[in-house]
Amino acid sequence: MDEVIDPRNPAGIRVGDVYEDCSFHPVLCTEIIDEGGAVALRGISLIDGSFPRSCDGRHCGPIRIPVEGVMAIKRDLEGYARRRQAELSAATGGTG
């Protein structure tokens, strides 16, 4: 049976997953909270240990990150963030 995708969390991120937050940090998801029609993803940064890091499951556009990619991101967070910003800008036609 196919799993139903929650439109409030289209990436399907679950507790225990690693995802990219709004600051391009890889974050270990520790909690998912239903906030009156929205889904808040919360966790701890795998870059600097800051917490709680929080993103809206739909509006922030978080994506899953493979665990294997975390160390490469950690070695060059600024370069990774620049690449992701360019990708997102290209995907939105330069409006994002």
pLDDT in the model for residue 95: 58
Q: What is the pLDDT along the chain (96 residues), one digit of tens a residue?
A: 467 888 999 999 999 999 999 999 999 999 999 988 899 999 999 999 999 999 999 999 999 999 999 999 999 999 999 999 999 999 888 755
27/25 Cα distance (integer angstroms): 6
Is 43 exposed, middle or buried, given 0-12, 13-18 or 19+ CB atoms closer than 10 A? buried
pTM of the model: 0.85
pLDDT in the model for residue 35: 85
12/18 Cα distance (integer angstroms): 11
